[in-house]
Amino acid sequence: MAQNIYDDTGFFAGYSRLERSVAGLDGAPEWPALRALLPPLAGARVVDLGCGFGWFCRWAAEQGAAQVLGLDVSRNMLARAVEATPSPAVSYRIADLDQLALPAGAFDVAYSSLAFHYVADIRPLFRTIHDALAPGGHLVFSTEHPIYMAPTSPEWTTSADGRSVWPLDGYLNEGARRTNWLAEGVLKYHRTLGTTLSTLIASGFVLTHVEEWGPDAAQVAARPEWNIERERPMFLLIAARREG
């Protein structure tokens, strides 16, 4: 089973205080870009892989989705999601993305926000998602960007001439990365962007959009401390379609 860091007490407490946990979708600066990749959800059957507190599931129901299934490995998060969700169109289930099983052709849209980098092998996951989508169905997801994940020391450093630079190394060496974000030894899996995309293609998806996300000019103007985030991408946003 995948590491379930979200049920670590310290991590959960820290995660619960993040802007994206408190303010929901609008607290995530990449949300407008990710939302723009989604098809209309009215009448759609939607699955959210790594749904956390259920913010997206509730939003999808508000957009008129016919059914929304939220999956997460964290009992803590799902308990809060269930509590916060009045809509009868939404249901939640414990699931491990490393060993996911879904009914065939049962969904029109698969969505995932910042969960796939916890998955050791995306091959079976992408195949499962592909088969769970109806022909023409959409997969829209974000992950941490491999440039962000790869380094031995993923922290800004200062160059000899005084610039902030991202000390990239290990990019082509895929595999486990341990970081100390909110807790010690959080385990994630680095893959190159090429591997992620070519695996999607080999799984039967047609890529429809690839975006290396950083804050845009308006966001930097509103929060000047984010300017440094334009030096390297933090997130990767991908949209793909199951071939008809």
Neighbouring residues of 80: CB distance < 8 A, sequence distance ≥ 6: 53, 54
d(CA 111, CA 133): 11
The token pair that represents 209 in the structure block: 């959009």
Of 65-73, 112-120, 126-134, 155-163, the window that binds a second copy (rule: CB under 8 A) is 155-163
| Cβ-based nearer residue to a second copy, 9 or 153 | 153
Beta bridge partners of 129: none
Residue 160 makes contact with a second copy by CB under 8 A: yes
197 touches a second copy by CB under 8 A: yes
| Contact status, residue 44 vs residue 69, Cβ threshold 8 Å | no
Region near a second copy per CB under 8 A, out of 14-22, 53-61, 66-74, 149-157: 149-157
Q: Is 91 in the site for a second copy (CB under 8 A)?
A: no
State the Cα–Cα distance between residues 73 and 79, nearest whole angstrom: 11
88: its two tokens:
């009868």
Stretch that binds a second copy, among 2-10, 55-63, 105-113, 204-212 (CB under 8 A): 204-212
* In the complex, least distance from residue 191 CB atom to a second copy, rounded to whole angstroms: 10
Check binding of 163 to a second copy (CB under 8 A).
yes
Facing residues of 49 across strands? 71
10 binds a second copy (CB under 8 A): no
Q: Which of 27, 32, 103, 170 binds a second copy (CB under 8 A)?
A: 170
Residue 116 structure tokens: 């796939």
Residues in the chain, overall count: 244
Q: HSE on the CB side for 33, CA within 13 Å?
A: 19
Residues of this chain that interact with a second copy (CB under 8 A) are: 147, 151-153, 157, 159-161, 163-173, 192-194, 197-198, 201, 206-212, 214, 230-233, 236
